Structure 1
């Protein structure tokens, strides 16, 4: 077993491994290649792979969270090992490298994520499970009908908008999302890398709701072939309670289905009752869960 830093040419094998362990996550080969070759700015992002007989059988990434002003909030993301290679110390070795990386960046708290069967592993390594994240899916065949747009509201694809308009809307809408650390304004450069310039973002299917030219709600679509991920659906606080998030998401699902998407995936914090209700009304059904797991340093 060899563990080494990930390189861009690992992208196809990493995506194949992710599809096996996390079939409900959507990040394509080119998007993964982009992340490895040109990591997000300001996060000190790194990734490692475990390789056996020339085959990638494990993956982990580690970085500092750029969406919070809490100092030293480290992230260990998507640690996973091929089912046939578990119980051999591979996960522990990957976790050790990831933890060492964020500790060198003066991490004070570290967050990882675990499926139900991995909670014991997390606890043995000093992580305490906390918030539950629900994953859901929706078949898009037949395609959902286009939504009825009320008077005074405009529905527009992201191709009609500027990144500055969308950034301002996300900063306002994300300020009170359920989280393990206080959510602060993500730097524009980091947001542009993660969202606007992401290879997987489908700007034709992604939809914004406008009132008087201002983006007040939106639903983002990241796509890999016939599969899509609802990256974020949100409404500015002052416009909530009017059904605008559901309007945006229904519009995005309709446009994605028209463009060949057959299944949609999304995730929601169990504490986010309004968005869970929106997804239930749209027909999403729960398929999996993960838990955020926190460890303090020192």
Structure 2
């Protein structure tokens, strides 16, 4: 029996946020972005992205999603991203995913993007390759850690004070990110986030858990930090980093433990994280903390 579904692709609206979050939870339960955060992302995209959020709708129901954007950090101004193209499993095989990808690619062309990257789950690589994507050997690894029994506190270090992000000036945290993230593995050469982009995506982000997110201070300097984004009882590890000359001291482990313990005390039951497959130091930290692998995605790219 052939099932025919009539659908349309349209720009996402802020009032789609609830449906978009529900769809994401169905397809990617390990990704964390609250309804409030999703609404803001649709209504007020990050500076320089020229982002388009697109939904697939049938009979008034949102059954698919994709975002298409310029990568503002890329050194190549013609490089963009097609992010999280996914369709409700009950509606797959009806051309919805193909239509979403086509509309995403069309948007990127209109803003001058000529090459796009995307993270693709193993089961969807064949689908992507038939539509012009090429998979690389690089993977993103996703992991989870239940917090019923949070990790034990590591030994404190002389001269290091831990505090929440709520107690730190935004300028100090931004400087630390600039110093600490220059060598984060990337699939394309990238520069640092501009202050406006960082403030929009981090400091002003409604999902930032300011009480659980933790920094390590050496005097007044932020030397390590971990940022958690929260949605209800779940958190996402958005970034963990240590300033270069303080690496090798276990500070990343220290701030992550403190953050997870604070999150657990605040009612969080599970923490999620992702790391590039070649980021051995952070993978080792997460393994030591008890994170368990749950999913992978491959870095893929296409010429538009």
What is the TM-score of this pair, normalised by structure 1?
0.97
Shift of 1:206: 0.3
Shift of 1:143: 3.1
Give, in whole Å, the separation in 2 of the partners of 1:12 and 1:42.
25
SS in 1 for 2:108: helix
Give, in whole Å, the separation in 1 of the partners of 2:92 and 2:245.
48
Counterpart in the other structure of 1:210: 217
- Which residue of 54, 63, 68 maps to 2:60? 54
Between Structure 1 and Structure 2, how many residues are aligned?
297
Shift of 1:81: 0.3
Give, in whole Å, the separation in 2 of the partners of 1:47 and 1:57.
14
SS in 2 for 1:50: strand
Instruction: Decide whether the 8 Å contact of 1:68 with 1:186 is kept in 2.
Output: no
Name stretches of at least 5 consecutive residues in structure 1 with no aligned partner.
none
Shift of 1:103: 1.4
SS in 2 for 1:176: coil
1:101 aligns with 2:107: yes
SS in 2 for 1:283: coil
Instruction: Decide whether the 8 Å contact of 2:121 with 2:297 is kept in 1.
Output: yes
Give, in whole Å, the separation in 2 of the partners of 1:222 and 1:132.
22
What is the TM-score of this pair, normalised by structure 2?
0.95
Give, in whole Å, the separation in 2 of the partners of 1:126 and 1:141.
44
**Structure 1, residues 19-65: CA drift from partner, whole Å, max 9, x if none?**
01000000011110011111111110111100111110000001111
Give, in whole Å, the separation in 1 of the partners of 2:125 and 2:58.
25
Give, in whole Å, the separation in 2 of the partners of 1:271 and 1:144.
24
Shift of 1:108: 2.9
Instruction: Decide whether the 8 Å contact of 2:153 with 2:254 is kept in 1.
Output: no
What's the C-alpha RMSD, in Å, of the aligned pairs? 1.0
Counterpart in the other structure of 1:2: 8
**Structure 1, residues 128-159: CA drift from partner, whole Å, max 9, x if none?**
11220000000000233444321111111111
1:186 aligns with 2:178: no
Give, in whole Å, the separation in 1 of the partners of 2:109 and 2:34.
30
Shift of 1:198: 0.6
**Structure 1, residues 57-87: CA drift from partner, whole Å, max 9, x if none?**
0000011111222221111101000001111
Counterpart mapping for 1:1-298 below 5 A: 1-130=7-136, 131-297=138-304
